[in-house]
Structure formats: C-alpha cells, structure tokens
Amino acid sequence: QYTSLHPNFRTISPNHVTPPPPPTTITSSTTQSLSQVSVKPNIQYRAYSPQHFYQNRILDQYSSQPINPITLRQLIVFGRNLTEERIIKSGHYVRTELPIRIAHRIRDFQNLPFIVGTNPHLSMVYDLYWTAFEKLRKIPPVRTMDENNEWCEIIKGLLKDHLVVIPKLAMGIMECSEHLSGEQLDRFMNTMLRSRISRRVLAEQQIALTENWHDPGYAYDQSDNDGWIGVISTHCNAKEILEKCAKMTRNFFKTYYGVEPPQVLADGQVDSTFAYIPDHIEYIIYELLKNSIKSVIEKHAPSILSTSQSPSKQMLESSQLFPPITVTICSGPTDIYFRISDQGGGIPDKLYPYIWSFAHKSNDKKNLHKFTNFSKVPQMAARVEEYEQHIIPPDLSLGIGLPMSKVYAEYWGGGLNIFSLDGYGVDAYVKITKLGNKIENLV
Ligand code: COI
C-alpha cells in the first residue's frame, strides 16, 4: 500500500467527505479577515481548494460506477445494418461510458505516492485526464444525430490531445523507478494503457460509424460493407498485414542506415482471415519485426549500428546477406498465430526476465533527456502509418515496444510470448482470438 498522496491529487476518500483544512494558516497575531488573506496560487494547495474538493466529489460519483466492458463481436453485430437510431444509441453508450472509464484512472493517479505524483510527465497526463473528464461529463446526453455529430467533434479533439499520453507515461514511470517497485509501476502502466485502448476504441468506433453513416457511398443496409464495420475489419488478411508491416519496418531501416535489411519471409496458412481492429495487430507485428530486424543487423553487421556516419555514407558490402526473418502463420479453430523467428542473437539471459517491464531499471534511461524535445517523442498512437511521419533513430526508443505489444495482444483475449535462444535468435508468438467473443481485458 502507498503511504502518502500527492497534494495536487485527491485528499478525500469516497467514504470520507469531511472538507480538508483551509488553504492558509492564520497566526494568532493576524487580525485579517479571511477575505484579506492573500492566497497565492501555490500549486501545493490545489488539492485543498474548494473547487478541487467539489471536483473530487463529482469524480467519486463516476469512479464508483462499474465499467461495462464489451466484446469485439458485440461491436461487429451492433455496427452491421446501421440505422440512425443505432448510431444515436451507441453515441449515448459511449457518452456515458467514457467519463466513467477515465474517472477510474484519475483515481489511480491520486493513489500514487506523493513523490511519484510530482513527476512533471505524470502530472501532465493527470491534468489532461482531468480536463477530458470535465469536458466529457458536461456534454448533454446524445438524443439526436446532430447531438451525436457535435459529440464526435469533441471526442476527435480529445483523441488528438491525448496522443502524447503514452510517451509521457513511459518517461514518467521510468523516472520514478527509484520510488516504487517495478511491479507497482508496471501494474499502474498496464492498467493505464488498457483503459486508454478501451476509451480510444469506443471513441474511434463511434466516429467511424458516424462518418460511414454520412458517406453517401456507404452501403449501410448491407450485412457487411467491404469488410469494414467502423474501425474493425472483418476480413483482416494475415499475409497483407505482414506484408504491410514488413514493408514499413524494412523501409525504416533502409532509410535510416542506407542498407538492405533482412528479408521477411512468410509461410504456413498465410491467407488466413479474421475479424479484428487492424491498428492493434499491426502495432504488434510492426514492433516485433522492428526488434528482429534491428537485432539481426546488430549481430551480423554491428558496425552499421555503431557508426556515427550519416546514413547515406554507410556502405554495406553487397555480398553481405542477412539471415531472413521467418513468419509462420497458423489458423486454429479459435485463434490465429504468428510466429516470428529471427537469427539476431537472442536476448541475453540476464535481461530476459525484464522484457515485459515498462519500468525495470534495465530499461535504458540514458536517452530519456533527448525526448524532452516534444516534437521528437514517438507518439505511439497505435497506428503504424504514423511512424512514417516520425523517423526516430532505432537506438533512440523508449524501450516499451514489447510490453506495449503484449498489452495490445491481450486486450481482446490473445497473447504474446517470447522465447530466446541466447546467442542464436528469438521466436515471438502472437496469438489473436478469431471469434471476437472475449471481453476487453481491462484489468
Ligand atoms: C485517451 O486517448 O487517453 C482518451 O481518453 C481519449 C478519449 C477521451 C476520447
């Protein structure tokens, strides 16, 4: 259990609503009336302000309500045969659900120890969440299509504002790794990320359904529309996903190092299809391929990664060939599997136990200061296309790609495992549920 609370944060438990102490101390020699006391806008007193007290009571009303989780299948079934009434109904559900989901996470922030809460990256996210919560809860219920359209514009803005959340959280918890155990920080981060995915899925699905509805070319009366139901594709093709991610990762290394990266070869049941949110699976495959390609280059041509020459000057002898990365696809009765095998030398045994940690001290912090220039921070917006707009050196990463991919894989009930042959290479196993019948993994 944590011992102290951040003063900016919550001071009142749901069961204890006695007002906290007044903001200033008046000494016995003071004859001023309270109105004469100058209360400096000292951030330390924010938690004691009447406004904060009032806000926390409102937060209690939301964070004490349970979350109503959904399955991918429910989203698919609901989004088929769209009608105006259905869009309004789902707009109403999302409008009710988002402030509750975000309120739970604001509580998590408030339960962090004082010192962790003072971290500037974490308190920035905390402020973003409060702002979003206030906006979301004040929007009137969605009863008409016009109200739904307005509501969608607001959530579009919030989605954009929150692009910075993941790198900020990652930097914050890495900086706090002295103050909480790795286990506590990882638990906090996992819960934050799952909840964030859940809010973004609800918001993006509602926006996409609304846009579909307004699109004159959209055949909303068909049972399926080119395989797309909002942000879900019912015809995700394993090979196409792999090819897209391989092309992007290989281009990334080609652009940066000026070398021909290892080939990515597919075998097995490559034409398997399944219903999923492509952004989620692409994020995982992209990250895994990036790790594999980087480690293969590192093992077989280490000079390329260590050189400080500009990419265009780098030359790899044309005879140099890297061993390929093989991706085996298997479609079982309930799940699709991707096994990504590389010969990049594996993960050293001493690091292996920490590969899933966001916060472990082994996570390289020496690069953190370089991320203070905000425009360079990888947005990690869960859309691989966005990586192309941010070419960040492969050695300058926050080092959270693997735990983040695991969160994505487990979100709809799948999984991610890594087996390492230290000195030889890595096999990564991704399991994706095909039936869409698992509820969102929010815990
Ligand atoms: C997030 O991206 O963290 C959100 O909560 C977005 C949501 C408010 C629309």
**Region 76-104 average pLDDT:** 94
Residues 6+ apart with CB under 8 A from 396: 367, 370
Conformation bin of residue 432: beta by default, left when phi > 0, alpha when psi is -120 to 50: beta
pLDDT surpassing 80 at residue 425? yes
Centre of ligand 1 to C-alpha 133, Å, is 9
- Going by the DSSP 8-state scheme, the letter that residue 410 receives in this structure is H
Per-residue confidence band for 320, with pLDDT thresholds at 50, 70 and 90 = low
Q: Is 102 in the pocket of ligand 1 (CB under 6 A)?
A: yes
Centre of ligand 1 to C-alpha 412, Å, is 18
**Region 138-143 average pLDDT:** 93
Centre of ligand 1 to C-alpha 7, Å, is 25
Q: Is 200 in the pocket of ligand 1 (CB under 6 A)?
A: yes
Centre of ligand 1 to C-alpha 58, Å, is 19
pLDDT at 39: 33
**Region 71-89 average pLDDT:** 93
**Contact 172/121 with Cβ under 8 angstroms?**
yes
Q: Is 6 in the pocket of ligand 1 (CB under 6 A)?
A: no
User: For residue 258, what are the CA distances in angstroms to 26, 57, 310, 377?
Assistant: 68, 57, 9, 23
pLDDT surpassing 60 at residue 160? yes
Centre of ligand 1 to C-alpha 367, Å, is 27
The Cα–Cα gap between 254 and 189 comes to 33
Q: Is 194 in the pocket of ligand 1 (CB under 6 A)?
A: no
Q: Is 196 in the pocket of ligand 1 (CB under 6 A)?
A: yes
Least confident of 279-283, 300-304, 328-332, 401-405: 300-304
pLDDT at 15: 36
Query: Residues of the chain with pLDDT > 90: what percent?
Result: 61
Q: To test ligand 1's pocket by mutation, which of 101, 130, 200, 202 has the most ligand atoms within 8 angstroms of CB? A: 200
Residue-wise pLDDT for 9-22, tens only, equals: 443 333 333 333 33
Q: Is 432 in the pocket of ligand 1 (CB under 6 A)?
A: no
pTM for this predicted structure: 0.83
pLDDT surpassing 70 at residue 375? no
DSSP string, 166-194: HHHHHHHHHHTTTTS-HHHHHHHHHHHHH
- 5 vs 404, residue with greater confidence: 404
pLDDT surpassing 90 at residue 363? no
Centre of ligand 1 to C-alpha 59, Å, is 17
pLDDT surpassing 50 at residue 380? no
Q: Closest ligand 1 atom to the C-alpha of 165?
A: 3
pLDDT surpassing 60 at residue 6? no
Centre of ligand 1 to C-alpha 243, Å, is 30
**Displacement of CA 328 from its chain's centroid (Å):** 26
DSSP string, 198-233: HHHHHHHHHHHHHHHHH-TT--TTSS-BTTEETTEE
pLDDT at 344: 96
The Cα–Cα gap between 177 and 116 comes to 9
Centre of ligand 1 to C-alpha 136, Å, is 10
**Contact 90/203 with Cβ under 8 angstroms?**
no
Residue-wise pLDDT for 283-295, tens only, equals: 999 999 999 999 9
- 20 vs 338, residue with greater confidence: 338
Centre of ligand 1 to C-alpha 10, Å, is 21
**Smallest Cα–Cα separation from 96: which of 128, 125, 62?**
62
Query: Residues of the chain with pLDDT > 70: what percent?
Result: 74
pLDDT at 216: 76
Q: Closest ligand 1 atom to the C-alpha of 132?
A: 8
Per-residue confidence band for 269, with pLDDT thresholds at 50, 70 and 90 = very high
Beta bridge partners of 264: 325
The Cα–Cα gap between 144 and 207 comes to 15
- Going by the DSSP 8-state scheme, the letter that residue 263 receives in this structure is P
Q: To test ligand 1's pocket by mutation, which of 162, 279, 383, 407 has the most ligand atoms within 8 angstroms of CB? A: 162
